[in-house]
Amino acid sequence: MVNQMTAWLFNEWPWYVAGPVIGLFVPALLLVGNKAFGVSGNLRHLCAAILPAKVEFFRYDWRRVGLWNLVFLAGILIGGFLTFHTGAANDIAISAETRTTLARLGIHDFSGVAPHELFTWHALLTARGFVSVVVGGFLVGFGTAYAGGCTSGHAISGLANFELPSLIAVVGFFAGGLAATWFILPFVIGR
């Protein structure tokens, strides 16, 4: 009985559990302190805290505006750590087609949450690891700041509030993601 009750905590959640739980973070943050759910604003707060320099975009009171969100962000890291150390080390059960496609492109290690061929410190010294981690990370930071939001701020908070800017941003997310997946990644991974 206890095993059945706690099993969900240690295994992959079905989409119809994961999705609604993610969605509930929007009203939860509103109810606690009228805060807008969105993670990427933290990248701006970190810039404002570490090196605002003379850049107008970073000259604001980051503690008052963003400290709550930076604390939330630290929680995400801790939550990932706790989950990683309490659950079964399951591989990600992706579809057989995806496995076949990725194997054809040059990914053969399907253990863990991200392929070791791309996401290890050692792989960082290879072209494909560098593009995946450093170039990809740069585009995430630049793009979310430019768009004023990421998956949480636009795709979830924004769409749930029926905002046109967020719809445009989400269409952009998928346009960029599809382009990178279908036209860029084959060249990146293939090296």
Contact set for another protein, span 24-83 (CB under 8 A):
24-47, 50-51, 55-61, 64-69, 71-83
The nearer residue to another protein, 160 or 190, going by C-beta atoms, is 160
CB 112 within 8 A of CB 91: yes
The nearer residue to another protein, 1 or 84, going by C-beta atoms, is 84
**Contact between 117 and another protein per CB under 8 A:** no
Kindly state the smallest distance separating residue 29's Cβ from another protein, in Å: 7
Query: Count of CB atoms within 10 A of residue 18's CB?
Result: 11
Kindly state the smallest distance separating residue 186's Cβ from another protein, in Å: 12
Residue choice 181, 186, 187, 190 for contact with another protein (CB under 8 A):
181
**Contact between 190 and another protein per CB under 8 A:** no
Kindly state the smallest distance separating residue 48's Cβ from another protein, in Å: 9
Closest CA to 62 of 50, 53, 72, 54: 50
The pair of structure tokens assigned to 180 is 């990178």
Return the biggest CA–CA distance within the chain. Answer: 60
DSSP 64-108: HHHHHHHHHHHHHHHHHHHHHTTS--PPP---HHHHHHHHHHT--
Q: Which amino acid is at 158?
A: G
Interface with another protein: number of residues (CB under 8 A): 139
**Contact between 148 and another protein per CB under 8 A:** yes
Kindly state the smallest distance separating residue 96's Cβ from another protein, in Å: 9
* SS3 label, residue 32: helix
